[in-house]
Chain A
Amino acid sequence: MRRSNPRVATLAKRMTPDKVAIRIVGVSHQFGEATEARHVRALRETSLEIARGELLCLIGPSGCGKSTLLNILGGLIAPTAGAVEVFGKRVRGPMPHDIAFVFQENALFPWNTVFENVNLGMVFQGVPRAEREARAKRAIEAVGLQDFPQHYPAQLSGGMRQRAALARALSLETGILLMDEPFGALDEQTRMILGEDLSVLLSRTEKTIVFVTHSLGEATFLADRVAVFSARPGTIKKIVKVDEPHPRRPDFVTSAKFTSIRNELYALLHDEIRKTVAESSVSAAGAHPP
């Protein structure tokens, strides 16, 4: 954490306040009290600024707190220490007008059609009835589901369900989109296509996006910056820039730049994943003595 602080400080100096969408200041989080068995230190003193219109990927070993950080940004969890500001406002709970979520899976209401799911999100957010239909239609078209508005989630493939979840988030027209491994449960080919479509979609909007992923390739392909987390209790170990304009072309994946960034991320992550695995096997051995 010592190492990351000076860089954040210089970053903060470079950014004028109105260019910052999300400001994370010294955020730590632990689950349970220190005396309890379920006590887990998930996140330690993390600070970061995310610019408007930026796509930031969070990657790190399992349990490093990247999803916890995302939930803190969205006001779903209150951090035990530190604070988050979104567009200059302190986050104290869900901010449906500024922040929309796309979850890993199963976040669509199974008893509602695609159209009803998108519409219901806007009902919750408080969009006037007259506006809802046009906005729902636009969002559904943007993700390429215009032929399936009357389908139920169970009738769609996993990739299409995530498109529908994305449409619901887009229809809310928030400045910020938080995505928690949205393609994590999908097969490699589907997530590749969704990633390409997302890159095209995002280049057309001004949205600020924080995207949690396990996939180095996905992070490199989508992100403007990739924040690499250390092992638990996690904090940002390094930030890697991906200097490539959106929308990114499919052949970006085969370029030397892509490979070198991906390799850099791999090297950064590899040690942390080793640490995590070693620690979990030690604690597993401790929990079940032979």
Chain B
Amino acid sequence: MTPSRDQREARLASRAVQVAFLIALLVLWYLATTRWRVSPLLLPNPVVVLRDFWNILTTGEFIGDLRVTLTELVIAFTIAAGSGLFVGYLVSRSQYCIQVFEPLFAGIYSVPIILFLPLYVLLFGLGPASKIALGATISFFPIALNTIAGFGYVERTLVIAARSMGASDLQLFRFVLLPAALPVILTGMRMGFTVALLSIIGSETIASLAGLGHRIVYLAEGMETAAMFAYIAFVVAIAAILNTLVSALEARGRRRR
């Protein structure tokens, strides 16, 4: 459905307010560093930050850390998606399993799993393995939970109708269960991706040898605040791009089922 003109105008208006808000923040930031004499060690001048940001991009010095973080993310998400889909589907096959495991998973997911990071560092060391383990653990739950919800609560009439028309098990899965569950599962995958990214970068700032989170802590400890802010902006940009990409994939998957 195409939005009406009124809707488009309303959305444009709220976009304008959002942009104005961000500009106002930047102006305040600029004023704080020039007029109000906030120490540049705590809050560097935004112009300097922009210059450093540009340096980071043009010299390509970010590539090593970005590669580490993205590799961790891809591996963690692959593990979480594979196991989450598999376990979620198995659980969804019986009402009994749903009753047992759905509250269990939801309960574990509500615990701050980041608490396991020290354990994972002990088990897997300071390198990427401990970040992958944490990211995969956290990302597993939304994927598994949404897979259970997607497959477990398919409208019964649809299944009965398909069976009455002679659908085989495979046909039932391919033409009824999967399309019914897919939107919910895709949402779970998107949520899993987001929390994997969050927890990997977060755990890099706590205990790590490399990666974007590690770089930011390294710069903060060296009092290179302008470069640190530039890296934060870089990570924000990367995260925004990745999340937009994943949301677009989700929307695409929802349409084509």
User: Which of A13-21, A25-33, A97-105, A256-264 is the contact stretch?
Assistant: A97-105
Q: Is A121 touching B163 in the complex (CB atoms < 8 A)? A: no
B32 interface residue per 8 A CB criterion: no
Q: Is B157 touching A124 in the complex (CB atoms < 8 A)? A: no
Q: Is B175 touching A106 in the complex (CB atoms < 8 A)? A: no
Q: How far is the CA of A280 from the CA of B162 in the complex (A)?
A: 34
Shortest Cβ distance from B182 into A: residue: A111
A90-110 interface with B by 8 A CB criterion:
94, 96-97, 99-101, 103, 105-107, 109
Closest-CB distance, B153 to chain A (whole angstroms) = 14
A103-B157, A107-B157, A111-B257 given; A74·B175 CB < 8 A: no
A111-B179, A120-B175, A124-B171 given; A96·B161 CB < 8 A: no
Give the interface size class of chain A: 20 to 34
Q: Is B155 touching A124 in the complex (CB atoms < 8 A)? A: no
B176 interface residue per 8 A CB criterion: yes
Per a CB cutoff under 8 Å, which of A75, A97, A101, A123 touches B161? A101
B112 interface residue per 8 A CB criterion: no
B60 interface residue per 8 A CB criterion: no
Q: How far is the CA of A126 from the CA of B180 in the complex (A)?
A: 22
A12 interface residue per 8 A CB criterion: no
Q: Is A100 touching B164 in the complex (CB atoms < 8 A)? A: yes
Q: Is B166 touching A124 in the complex (CB atoms < 8 A)? A: yes
Residues in chain A near residue B161, CB distance under 8 A? 101, 103, 107
Closest-CB distance, A209 to chain B (whole angstroms) = 15
Instruction: Name A residues whose Cβ lies closer than 8 Å to a Cβ of B.
Output: 74-76, 94, 96-97, 99-101, 103, 105-107, 109, 111, 120-121, 123-126, 168, 172
Instruction: Name B residues whose Cβ lies closer than 8 Å to a Cβ of A.
Output: 155, 157-158, 160-168, 171, 175-176, 179-180, 257
